Amino acid sequence: MANKIRIMDLSSELGIGNKELLQILRELDIPVKSHVSSITDEEAAQVREKMQRKDASVDVQQREIQPGVILRRRKKVAKAEEVEQKDVVVDASVADQPDETSTPPVQEKAKAKQERRVTSARIVSQPQSAPKSAAGGEDAHVAPSSDEQPLGAAAELVEDQPEVQFEDQPGEQPKSESGESSEDQSEVQPEDQSAERLPKTTSADEPDATQAEVGDSTGAESEKAAVSETAPVTEEKPKKRKPKRKEPLMQTGPQVRIISKPEAKPDFSYKPESKPYTPTPVQTPGSETPARAAVPKAAPSTESTQERKKKKKGKRTVEIVQTSPFAEQDRSDPNWKKKKTSPVQDRTGGKFRTKRSRSKSRDAHDDQMLQTGTQPIKAAKRKIRMEEAIRVSDMAKQMGLKAQEIIKILFSMGMMTTINQSIDQDTATLVATEFGYEVEQVGFLEEGFTQTLEEDKLEDLAPRPPVVTIMGHVDHGKTSLLDAIRETNVTKGEAGGITQHIGAYHVETSRGIITFLDTPGHEAFTAMRARGAQVTDLVILVVAADDGVMEQTKEAVNHAKAANVPIVVAVNKIDKEDANPDRVIRELSEMGLLAEAWGGDTIFANVSAKQRIGLDELLEMVLLQAEVLDLKANPGKRARGHIVEARLDKGRGPVATVLIQEGSLHEGDVFVCGLYQGKVRAMLDDKGQKIKEAGPSYPVEVQGFDGLAESGDEFVVVADEKIARRIASARQTKEREKTLAKASKVTLDSFLASKAAGETKVLNLVIKTDVQGSAEAVSESLLKLSTDEVRVQIVHSGAGAITESDVMLAAASSAIVIGFNVRPMAKVKEIAESESVEIRFYDIIYNLVNDIRDAMTGMLSPIIRESYLGQAEVRQTFSVPKIGMVAGCAVMDGKLLRNAKIRLLREGVVIYTGKLSSLRRFKEDVKEVSKGFECGVGLANFNDIKVGDVIEAFEEVSEKATL
Ligand SMILES: Nc1nc2c(ncn2[C@@H]2O[C@H](COP(=O)(O)OP(=O)(O)OP(=O)(O)O)[C@@H](O)[C@H]2O)c(=O)[nH]1
């Protein structure tokens, strides 16, 4: 028919393979049977148009990488189907072939077409392998020498490819089904179908076949390696797997390059195809010989289609198609296809693909891998997994040791531990190293979620108001001053605002804003600091002008100094007649606070809280001082701050005042705080107004906690609720472990043990004595002990009972509390225990100084430890003739023992230390009286007992001091 054109002709015209063209025709719904069929001009036009479109989207590069070896590569594939397909055809060098001419590199299609004709004699790479290898092998050097096996290289490449090509038809162009994918190959395909590069079409008659084909010789290994490194591989969609027609292999025509060496065939293993092979009615299948069946079928895989589909999604698999010169014969076996592929796990993943020719050893290895499924496992490292702390017994278990061995090591490190005690990570690391183990911290590390690793950029920082705490002695006017400042400024700037007590508030002055912490007193200040919360920028020290510097004034100064917070002195009550501000200046100078007038840098302001005198000046001074501090924060990030106050509100649940220190807090933000987490449900400012956002130095009352936070707790906004929950639960776990570990802070005994070599150690002490004179004497004696290596630093010293404030100061400063003739009350003792603060008691200065010196020189002599038994309060006193004074007591804590030693405390000060002369209940002598019971007590050789005194019973236990 004049208006008809044969497929073969059209394919040559278009420069594509017959098979590919057939595929295109099928896509265009043009019915054809084979390449000898004809189509109408109209249909041909459709094909041409389609090809044009395709060409536009495909950029094929060709270059000759070696004489006679052309590399074709699809640079970019626009169509989804084509994505990741990089087809390269490696043409076997023609050099070896007398009847072939070497192929020059071709860049354009037209040229390619011509090229194809010229090189048709060469074996076009096998669809399954060669195209891929070629694709990947753009930079690969495929040597044409007969000994080498480029296909082997191809096989390597294929393995690295994410996709798997399923074309497996021996006599066909591998991608004939998918016109697009085979496009490139078809270009180099011989026009003669018989010469088609069938992966398995290997003709034994050409033993020195090009390596581009299915090489199987061992010599291919090196080549493979070279190519595999660079060569991307063609990938094809699984849909192309099933050939629709059978194109019987032609016996190797004169131009067909032999793909593999015949002797390699016995090692081929085959993998069953998921789809049965359906021969196409074209060509003669008679070429198949039974010899193929003789090929060992070491196919390790018998995967089902479904299994393979699964793999496609998850594990990526490569199918290796081994081809041999017996490929044709193989097809006589209905299962030939199955025999040809073997699955191998693909590193890159992707679709199934096949490749040919692998070395025997590789196959054997793969088979083995498939059978074993895994690679040999590396010897596990000797690791101990622990969270924050680990119990000695658990650690021993992990190392397969007896706990005693660990305890021994710990002992040699100066730590007395028991089997049930927990040790921290540092200690565990030391112990583990002794046994050749490593410590691995497991569990949740919150730092990544709560810490900003990036430092704030300078341009992100904005000035923030100073945060001020007012401190001073009792009755010197702290509350009055706070109220005065607030009221004055409330009426000034925020008329109508209803004052809310949220523990902090901010005041607007003409010079700027100041945030006040409404928690006067150093207890709150130090309690927060002990928790690591340094929220205060400045301290206003209130000193009554008529009273001067008093005990708590000194404490306040020491607390502020310990926290390194600048002090502005407010000399209050200057309205009083006997006010003497100069005296205050003088007294404070003795404590190191030198007024500017005296050449120092401490700001003093005379005020009267009662009469509202000097308040503006005071605030101005505060702001001046703040300016020096150059307080800045980045308001543009997630908020971080500390809890100032927390309480349980009847209607709103747990609420807390958060002082934002950096970033901005918004409604809806998710946060963690102490052991709890939550979401900001609502925010109120200090005027009780609902706000949506709060920036740095801004105090807000936050609603939405899932537990009651504590003042001083850090408040951090995190990314989401999941993280918040995780952190909170990790903290709760940690807290439990900490309680178990019960690691004490600093003790005199452990002081030197923790000292690193060459480091000057500072021994911080808080000294409390019965009288002021002793405080000075003790301090002086101890300060004299300072050496180059160990320096004694008195954080605070004063007269009076050991108070909660002393303990908190010691906790915050890692100090030891020295009680000289003073004792703590039971409650203070409890706090000291919970804060792990050591309190040591002395009544002879000589002993005290010796102990400290011994501790400092590492020669602590055996010590007598006191074991506290209990306390009883004197409710009544009776004078009994001949016996003396007898006290009617109620045991408030622990118990009193008849033979115990006792001391009599009056307002925390030791009045007498001695023994009981009698212990009775209802006129009966008893050996002990427990908490909650009343008793009559007589003290040996002491009668000056008064109502309100406390009798403390204790035992003395002799202990050898260890360092
Ligand atoms: N004359 C005079 N009296 C003042 C002044 N400031 C406070 N007062 C009085 O001093 C007494 C104690 O004042 P507070 O403000 O309660 O003192 P404080 O330091 O807060 O006392 P505590 O809360 O007990 O620590 C009150 O009676 C006040 O009226 C002042 O500037 N002048």
Q: DSSP letters of 779-809? A: HHHHHTT--SSEEEEEEEEEES-B-HHHHHH
Residue 579: is its pLDDT beyond 50? Answer: yes
**DSSP strand pairing (670-673 vs 676-684):** antiparallel
Q: Binding site: what residues are annotated?
A: 472-479, 518-522, 572-575
Using the atom order of ligand 1, give the atom closest to the CA of residue 576.
1
- Ligand 1 in reach of 608 Cβ (< 6 A): yes
Using the atom order of ligand 1, give the atom closest to the CA of residue 482.
15
Q: pLDDT band at residue 882, thresholds of 50, 70 and 90? A: confident
Highest mean pLDDT among 231-235, 446-450, 744-748: 446-450
Determine the 3-state secondary structure of 921 from DSSP: strand
Give the start-to-end residue ranges of the domains of the chain. 4-54, 386-443, 462-717, 759-859, 862-960
Closest C-alpha to 221, from 157, 131, 143, 150: 150
Q: Which position has the higher pLDDT, 102 or 620?
A: 620
pLDDT at 97: 42
pLDDT at 499: 53
pLDDT at 555: 86
CATH T-level topology, domain 862-960: Elongation Factor Tu (Ef-tu); domain 3 (2.40.30)
Highest mean pLDDT among 306-315, 527-536, 897-906: 897-906
- Ligand 1 in reach of 612 Cβ (< 6 A): no
Phi, psi at 309, each rounded to 5°: -60, -40
- Residue nearest atom 11 in ligand 1 by C-alpha distance: 475
Q: Which position has the higher pLDDT, 89 or 737?
A: 737
799 - beta bridge partners? 769
Using the atom order of ligand 1, give the atom closest to the CA of residue 483.
15
Phi, psi at 870, each rounded to 5°: 175, 175
pLDDT at 951: 93
Residue 238: is its pLDDT beyond 60? Answer: no
Question: What token pair was written down for 574?
Answer: 């200057």
Using CA atoms, how far residue 342 sits from 4, 299, 856, in Å, is 44, 6, 76
Q: How far apart are CA 713 and CA 469, in angstroms?
A: 17
Q: How far apart are CA 208 and CA 311, in angstroms?
A: 37
Q: Which position has the higher pLDDT, 296 or 683?
A: 683
- Residue nearest atom 27 in ligand 1 by C-alpha distance: 475
pLDDT at 940: 86
Q: Which position has the higher pLDDT, 860 or 392?
A: 392
Q: Is 959 exposed, middle or buried (0-12, 13-18, 19+ CB in 10 A)?
A: exposed
Mean pLDDT of 500-506: 77
* CATH 1.10.10.2480 matches 4-54: yes
Q: Report the CATH architecture of 759-859.
A: 3-Layer(aba) Sandwich (3.40)
**Amino acid identity for residue 479 in this structure:** T
Least confident residue range of 81-85, 706-710, 859-863: 81-85
Q: pLDDT band at residue 615, thresholds of 50, 70 and 90? A: very high
- Ligand 1 in reach of 479 Cβ (< 6 A): yes
Question: What token pair was written down for 730?
Answer: 């990790």
For 535-590, the three-class secondary structure string (H helix, E strand, C coil) is CCCEEEEEEECCCCCCHHHHHHHHHHHHCCCCEEEEEECCCCCCCCHHHHHHHHHC
Region for residue 697 given its phi and psi (left: phi exceeds 0; alpha: psi -120 to 50; beta: otherwise): left
Ligand 1 centroid to residue 572 C-alpha, Å: 9
Region for residue 862 given its phi and psi (left: phi exceeds 0; alpha: psi -120 to 50; beta: otherwise): beta
- Ligand 1 in reach of 476 Cβ (< 6 A): yes
Ligand 1 centroid to residue 620 C-alpha, Å: 22
Q: DSSP letters of 327-382? A: HHHHTTSTTHHHHHEEEEE-SS--S--------HHHHHHHHHHHHH-SPPPPPPP-
Highest mean pLDDT among 407-416, 683-692, 951-960: 683-692
- Ligand 1 in reach of 478 Cβ (< 6 A): yes
Most ligand 1 atoms within 8 A of CB, residue of 469, 480, 574 to mutate: 480
Q: Which residues contact 555 (CB under 8 A, 6 or more apart)?
A: 522, 796, 798, 805, 809
Would you say the CATH fold of 759-859 matches that of 386-443? Answer: no
Q: How far apart are CA 226 and CA 139, in angstroms?
A: 9
Highest mean pLDDT among 17-26, 260-269, 298-307: 17-26
Ligand 1 centroid to residue 478 C-alpha, Å: 7
Residue 177: is its pLDDT beyond 70? Answer: no
Q: Which position has the higher pLDDT, 762 or 602?
A: 602
pLDDT at 683: 94
pLDDT at 255: 40
Mean pLDDT of 944-949: 92
Q: pLDDT band at residue 453, thresholds of 50, 70 and 90? A: low
Residue 126: is its pLDDT beyond 60? Answer: no
Q: Binding site for GTP: what residues are annotated?
A: 472-479, 518-522, 572-575
pLDDT at 189: 41
The continuous run of DSSP H or E covering 397 comes out as helix 392-399
**CA dihedral sign, ordered 747, 750, 752, 756:** negative
Ligand 1 centroid to residue 813 C-alpha, Å: 30
- Ligand 1 in reach of 483 Cβ (< 6 A): no
- Ligand 1 in reach of 475 Cβ (< 6 A): yes
Burial 179-213 (b: 16+ CB within 10 A, else e): bbbbbbbbbbbbbbbbbbbbbbbbbbebeebbbbb
- Ligand 1 in reach of 477 Cβ (< 6 A): yes
What is the share, in percent, of the chain residues with pLDDT greater than 90?
A: 17
Q: How far apart are CA 287 and CA 264, in angstroms?
A: 20
pLDDT at 415: 76
**Is the pTM here over 0.80, yes or no?**
no
Residue 689: is its pLDDT beyond 50? Answer: yes
Number of helices followed by number of strands (H, E) in the chain: 27, 38
Q: Cite the beta strand spans of 290-329 per DSSP E.
A: 317-321
Q: Which position has the higher pLDDT, 673 or 361?
A: 673
What is the share, in percent, of the chain residues with pLDDT greater than 70?
A: 58
CB-facing half-sphere around the CA of 406: CA atoms within 13 A: 30
Residue 110: is its pLDDT beyond 50? Answer: no
Residue 148: is its pLDDT beyond 50? Answer: no
CB-facing half-sphere around the CA of 747: CA atoms within 13 A: 14
Mean pLDDT of 9-17: 80
Residue 167: is its pLDDT beyond 60? Answer: no
Mean pLDDT of 23-34: 80
Using the atom order of ligand 1, give the atom closest to the CA of residue 608.
31
Using the atom order of ligand 1, give the atom closest to the CA of residue 572.
31
How confident is the prediction for the chain on average, in pLDDT? Answer: 68
Residue 362: is its pLDDT beyond 70? Answer: no
Q: pLDDT band at residue 871, thresholds of 50, 70 and 90? A: very high
- Residue indicated by tokens 């927060």: 528
Residue 947: is its pLDDT beyond 80? Answer: yes
Closest C-alpha to 461, from 623, 637, 627, 628: 637
Mean pLDDT of 12-25: 81
pLDDT at 678: 93
Ligand 1 centroid to residue 480 C-alpha, Å: 5
Residue 312: is its pLDDT beyond 90? Answer: no
Least confident residue range of 127-141, 681-695, 746-760, 867-881: 127-141
Q: How far apart are CA 352 and CA 344, in angstroms?
A: 10
Q: Which position has the higher pLDDT, 150 or 505?
A: 505
Highest mean pLDDT among 222-231, 707-716, 741-750: 707-716
Residue 532: is its pLDDT beyond 90? Answer: no
Q: Report the CATH architecture of 462-717.
A: 3-Layer(aba) Sandwich (3.40)
The CB density around residue 963, as the number of other CB atoms within 10 Å, is 17
Q: pLDDT band at residue 922, thresholds of 50, 70 and 90? A: confident
Residue 902: is its pLDDT beyond 80? Answer: yes
- Ligand 1 in reach of 918 Cβ (< 6 A): no
- Residue indicated by tokens 């995967």: 303
- Ligand 1 in reach of 552 Cβ (< 6 A): no
pLDDT at 246: 40
Residue 301: is its pLDDT beyond 60? Answer: no
Q: Is 377 exposed, middle or buried (0-12, 13-18, 19+ CB in 10 A)?
A: exposed
* CATH 1.10.10 matches 386-443: yes
Residue 702: is its pLDDT beyond 70? Answer: yes
Q: How far apart are CA 361 and CA 376, in angstroms?
A: 18
- Residue nearest atom 2 in ligand 1 by C-alpha distance: 573
Ligand 1 centroid to residue 906 C-alpha, Å: 28
- Residue nearest atom 7 in ligand 1 by C-alpha distance: 477
Closest C-alpha to 660, from 652, 647, 669: 669
Ligand 1 centroid to residue 775 C-alpha, Å: 29
Q: pLDDT band at residue 63, thresholds of 50, 70 and 90? A: low
Using CA atoms in the order 228, 233, 239, 243, what is the torsion angle rounded to 10 degrees?
-80
Q: Are 649 and 684 in contact (CB under 8 A)?
A: no
Least confident residue range of 4-18, 105-119, 257-271, 529-543: 257-271
Residue 572: is its pLDDT beyond 90? Answer: yes
Ligand 1 centroid to residue 479 C-alpha, Å: 7
- Ligand 1 in reach of 573 Cβ (< 6 A): yes
Residue 197: is its pLDDT beyond 60? Answer: no
Q: How far apart are CA 835 and CA 529, in angstroms?
A: 13
Residues 832-851 have pLDDT tens digits of 888 888 888 888 888 888 88
pLDDT at 200: 39
Q: Which position has the higher pLDDT, 74 or 261?
A: 74
